[in-house]
Structure 1
Amino acid sequence: MLSTLTSTASTALQLHPGWGGGPGFGWLFVLIPLFWITVFVLLFVVLGRRWRRSSPPWVMAQSAGRSAEATLAQRFAHGDIDETEYRARLEVIRTNNPDPRQH
């Protein structure tokens, strides 16, 4: 079985000289698809990274405001601050991070 495979491979190399190291373009059939696959992968990586990073600034501000509100609510729930301090700080957070959908 192995000898049959070896003889078939050597016959194929003799019939197609480009694969056997002689003149010809045999390796281009492998290199051209690999080149284009690499180009598409690089484009996907670069454009995907830019798309994920280019979120609107109000989304970032809104998520920062939500995070601050969640932290403040957690501190109030743990008893670190009282209700008047909680409401005063919550008002400051909401004043500094207005929701753009309300305007």
Structure 2
Amino acid sequence: MFWYGHDPSGWGWFVMSVGMIFFWAVLIALGVLLFRALSRPPDAGATTGPAQHEPVAERLLAERFARGEIEEDEYRRRLTVLRAGDGPSAGKR
């Protein structure tokens, strides 16, 4: 019935060792992830840079100016129009 005895062979020890290392690695990783999730402040996902507070149209205009698609005088003229609220979408609000 037990031809190989009651002790595991060399491969059995190897598989048990790797399994135990894998088990503890997964357990520690879950603990670290849980700790990080619970210790994060509620507003950690929000960035507080100035680009997040400016309107989307002004940010797009600044990106076009940075890429060189428009000149400085056109950028300043359009920015003035956007900030004054005299743009084509001003009456649609």
> Which protein, 1 or 2, shows the higher relative CO under an 8 Å CA cutoff with sep ≥ 6?
1
Tell me if TM exceeds 0.5.
no
TM-score normalised by structure 1 residue count: 0.39
